[in-house]
Amino acid sequence: MSPRRNRPKGSGSSGRSADEDRARYGGWQSSESWQGEEWSVRHVAGASAEGKTYRCPGCDQVIPSGVPHVVAWPEFGGVDERRHWHKSCWNAKDHRTTRVRRSRNAPKY
């Protein structure tokens, strides 16, 4: 008995609907206005972020692997402009100062 294939055989379109994509990536996507721009915001489930770490621009802390978070990018921006935020940092983005405060020994990246 051969193992089950988890990927489609063809190289064409995946044929998935938006609902299937939401289930695959574990979240829903919306549009929000922030700093005079429209931003696309996608909520990412922890399971789809397994094995990856990101740095939150809101608090400058690491988002560990497998933690649910938010991905936001300008509506007309490219892939390089996507940023991964903690959900609480994204929700508090209007209440934060523009200058990120770091401890003395924190890395500056």
Distance of CA 66 to the CA centre of its chain: 12
Each residue's pLDDT tens digit, 19-39: 444 444 455 788 888 778 888
Determine the Cα–Cα distance for residues 101 and 103; give it in Å rounded to an integer. Answer: 7
Each residue's pLDDT tens digit, 27-72: 578 888 877 888 889 998 877 778 888 999 988 899 998 889 999 9
Report pTM.
0.61
